[in-house]
Amino acid sequence: MRIKKGDNVIVIAGKDKGKQAKVLEVFAVRDRVLVEGVNVLKRHQRARKQGQAGQVLSVAMPVHTSNVMLVDPKSGKRTRLGIKMVGDKKVRVAKRSGAEL
């Protein structure tokens, strides 16, 4: 998977299209990422103890990796990802500007 935890991404499809945020968690097996403040759903939780009130929680749900793209660190626009060899290490590079990610 090309997207890693901590990357800045932009949502390119869905109800949150255009939002920029940070990746909180990656689910590689399901090809999904959890992005901060994106795809937020309301979950109703009933009272657990006597006398306690129920509540409505806002929970961020994962989005598919095809619906997000990395943000170029120089221009702030969306970019594709490339791999460059620096010595004997592979480094992720933004295709738009050539900046390392």
Domain count within the chain = 1
Q: What's the half-sphere exposure (Cβ side, CA atoms, 13 Å) at 71?
A: 15
Q: Is position 78 within any domain?
A: no
Confidence of residue 95 (pLDDT cuts 50, 70, 90): very high
CATH number at residue 53: 2.30.30.30
User: What predicted TM-score, i.e. pTM, was given to this entire model?
Assistant: 0.84
Q: Is position 81 within any domain?
A: no
Per-residue pLDDT reduced to its tens digit, 33-79:
999 999 999 999 999 888 899 999 999 999 999 999 999 999 999 99
Q: Is position 80 within any domain?
A: no
Residues 6+ apart with CB under 8 A from 96: 72, 74, 75, 77, 79, 80
Q: Which domain holds residue 16?
A: 8-71
